[in-house]
Structure 1
Amino acid sequence: MVERLAALREERGMSLEELATASGISRATLSRLERGESSPTAALLGKLCAVYGMPMSRLIAEVEVQPVQLIRAADQSEWHDPDTGFVRRMISPPARGFKAELIEGRLPAGAVIDYPQPPVRGMEQHMWMLSGVLDFTVDGVEHRLHKGDMLRFHLYGATRFSCPGPHAAHYLIAICEP
């Protein structure tokens, strides 16, 4: 992840100061992230995604040269948000030649994650609840999702993931590139 964050900034010809201004993340925090001295939170990654114009999974994952067809459970990478306890598993990660991704999310009871802006405006998403309850706000409209519920939308504004409990919210999200 460390190399990926630094490479993205360098690919765009941005200084740490320019990225700090564009993302609203302090220069010191960005520097610590790029040196691997601290782990990024979901909120920080969301801000970086908005600057880079890419879904979080593209930011996290290393794009394979030749994508595999079968992705064993043991090979599906997980990312843990140190602030909220949120766990994100890349079931079908981004890959060259594929426009959709499948992501599993687990948000602990009481946890809240806010993304002030979308990483890519208009991005199509499909969210399917596997268990628990999730209060999901998209573009100012809150939806209470229960097991079996499915919400599909195009993402244009802020989002909020909130798990009221008493159990973790467990869901799948399909992300489709525009």
Structure 2
Amino acid sequence: MKPTKYCLFISVFFLMLSCEEQTKQLVVEVYETSASGNKLQKLNNFEAAEIAASINLLPEKEFQTITGFGGSFTEASASLLNRLSKENRNKILEAYFGEAGANYSLTRTHINSCDFSLSNYSYAPVDGDRELEHFSIDEDRDDLIPMIKEAMVMSKDGFKILSSPWTAPPWMKDN
């Protein structure tokens, strides 16, 4: 039997029947996203497990805000996408950023090279260039930046991009 990859989202809602705390009724809705094509498909007919799970909800206890969901733009992924036909590249980007796809809302990319780059490079390659007179993003103009721009076109709602350096240029480090 081949394992099926899927993601299950459970939404929990309280129905307020009155202002009294003890009159809340718990309603559970189950949504499935699967490799077989379900995309946040609401499941109405499902069997309850014989062993009940205990879920403690503490709505008054907040931890953090979810900024979004998504993935990373890397030089390696951009290089591979550029080897595909325009049609196949669009299908892949649509699957991640399109309205009919995952509709990513948060992405990340690297400043300078990273473990997923084709070579080691720096935007500030000149030793001691504290004024960044030789700063350049030319390394990313052929692959990475065009991929990000194509994804932006695919995304109806747009997405946030977190950019962070994998490491500082060698001349800025002493280790």
The alignment's TM-score, normalised by the length of structure 2, stands at: 0.24
When normalised by structure 1's length, the TM-score is 0.23
